[in-house]
Amino acid sequence: MKKLVISLLVSAVLFGTSTRVYAEKIALVGGRLIDGTAENLIKNSVILVDNGVITQVGTVDTLPVPQDYKVVSTEGQDVLPGLWENHAHIQLTGHANYVHWQANYKHRFADEIMPASLVQLLLAGVTSVRDLGAPLEDTQIIKRKLANNEIPGPTLYASGPFLQWQVDDWQKGYRWAVKDKSDAIKKVNQLADAGMDIVKLIDQDDMPHEVAQAIVQQAHKRGLKVVAHSHKPNEIRRGVEIGVDNFEHTGLTTAPGYPEDVLTAIKERTGKGMFSGLLFWTPTVEGLWSYQDTVKNPEHLDNSCWHRGLKPDTIADIKQSIQKPGHLGYTQLVPLRKPTLKRKIEQLKETGVVMLVGTDVGIPMKFHCQTTWHEMAVWVDDFGFDPIETIRAATYWPAVMMGVQDKYGSVTLGKVADIIAVRGDVLKYMNLLQHVDLVMKNGVIYKQNGQVIEEALKR
């Protein structure tokens, strides 16, 4: 125990708050571990990380820190797996006019916008992200840059362009129309060959059944997951029929709830048994729930965290577009939708779907540096979700959904060292996640004691 205390003191002197931890062998020592599994919490935890992999997990009483490890104190902090943002748009960054954005920024996506979105997510504690809708070539460039460590960011699971029945001209850069069954198979293969991980399907009820079915079957044949919109009852009915993996949003506009036949279909799907019956749902509820509060008090939109990585003219353009949050046509129905949300969430809970934390970040006024924790706090504080299950919805279950739970989603032996820490009791105050104190991705520390390690971002 004396050696541990000495090691901690030496570490504090060596690393302080602004020096990157270069060591391949790192010990995170002292915090309460919420490891992402159904296991009990581990107090006074010790986590040993070697070359980006978790090699041992224990406590200060049971797991001595080897002398060749650098010790980073997590005393007074809750330690969690890195968060997943399960519904992001990294080619968007809060601008209120989509047509303007696509016309004026499409040449900046790969060099400016998408890297800025990714680094902002990372520093907010998001170490894995699902990007659901962006131009294919830009997405390939970004995936390559991440793989080559040319830019910092979360592990990226991407869909590339949406697949849908009809597309407006201004949307064609990031949405693909599907003409028939053979075209559906061709486009899924194109996405798979380009290295995408997900197929994003919308308006599937507008397609002939055989076309929508072909998309899902071919996607699964090629090892891609399928996520689908749930804004209309028929989108859900069709999506359940064809076997999508994950529904997105809490839609149905102002309808008071989901129709009974839709709920029955979902229950039949979730009742198939064990993991084969899992149906995932990303409700993206916070933006709707908090919109009127944003109109009354838009101060958080002035938080400069979302400026990181963006050029001055981009920042200025975004600012002018959201000067009057209550005037945006995009959001005029939201006050009528808000009263329906709690019932819809309760209905979904009763069906047995597995909820995932995702936010639709990138849409107007939703910034990558602050949105994921907003969603988690609303789940707990306003919708009655259990705090630990909320954390699992942002860590463990997304990894299961994407089929990567052998590497990600929990702080356990053999997993990739994607770990965050926050000062205080996050199970009591979920909004503490707005100030993540420690961010470790692949065993590299990008943020410590609340301070960004700028050198790590430039590696």
**What local confidence, expressed as pLDDT, does residue 23 receive?**
52
What's the helix, strand, coil split of the chain in %, to 5?
Answer: 40, 20, 40
When divided into structural domains, the chain yields a total of 2
Residues 418 and 302 placed together within one structural domain of the fold: no
**What local confidence, expressed as pLDDT, does residue 414 receive?**
97
Low-confidence ranges of the chain (pLDDT < 70): 1-23, 273-276
Residues 284 and 209 placed together within one structural domain of the fold: yes
Decide: 303 and 120 in contact? Cβ < 8 Å: no
CATH of the domain at 128: 3.20.20.140
Q: What are the backbone angles phi and psi of residue 416, rounded to the nearest 5°?
A: -60, 140
In tens, the pLDDT along 404-450 reads 999 999 999 999 999 999 999 999 999 999 999 999 999 999 999 99
Q: What are the backbone angles phi and psi of residue 45, rounded to the nearest 5°?
A: -75, 155
In tens, the pLDDT along 178-215 reads 999 999 999 999 999 999 999 999 999 999 999 999 99
d(CA 100, CA 111): 18
Residues 204 and 224 placed together within one structural domain of the fold: yes
Residues 315 and 343 placed together within one structural domain of the fold: yes
Residues 325 and 255 placed together within one structural domain of the fold: yes
Residues 285 and 379 placed together within one structural domain of the fold: yes
**What local confidence, expressed as pLDDT, does residue 364 receive?**
95
Angle CA 103–104–110, to nearest 5? 100
Range of the structural domain that residue 70 is part of: 2-82+410-457
Output the six-digit token pair for 254: 């102002």
Residues 181 and 239 placed together within one structural domain of the fold: yes
**What local confidence, expressed as pLDDT, does residue 199 receive?**
98
- For β-strands 198-201 and 225-229, DSSP reports them as parallel
Residues 289 and 430 placed together within one structural domain of the fold: no
pTM: 0.94
**What local confidence, expressed as pLDDT, does residue 274 receive?**
61
**What local confidence, expressed as pLDDT, does residue 329 receive?**
83
* DSSP annotation of 94: S
CB atoms within 10 A of CB 268: 12
CB atoms within 10 A of CB 269: 19
**What local confidence, expressed as pLDDT, does residue 39 receive?**
87
**What local confidence, expressed as pLDDT, does residue 25 receive?**
95
d(CA 319, CA 263): 41
CATH of the domain at 71: 2.30.40.10
Decide: 88 and 94 in contact? Cβ < 8 Å: no
Whose CA is closest to 118, among 66, 72, 69, 157? 157
Sheet holding 175-177, edge to edge: 175-177, 162-164, 198-201, 225-229, 246-248, 280-282, 354-355
Residues 219 and 332 placed together within one structural domain of the fold: yes
**What local confidence, expressed as pLDDT, does residue 273 receive?**
65
Q: For 4-34, b where at least 16 C-beta lie within 10 A, e where not — what string?
A: beebbeebeeebeeeebbebeebbbbbbbbb
Q: What are the backbone angles phi and psi of residue 129, rounded to the nearest 5°?
A: -140, 140
Residues 69 and 173 placed together within one structural domain of the fold: no
Residues 341 and 278 placed together within one structural domain of the fold: yes
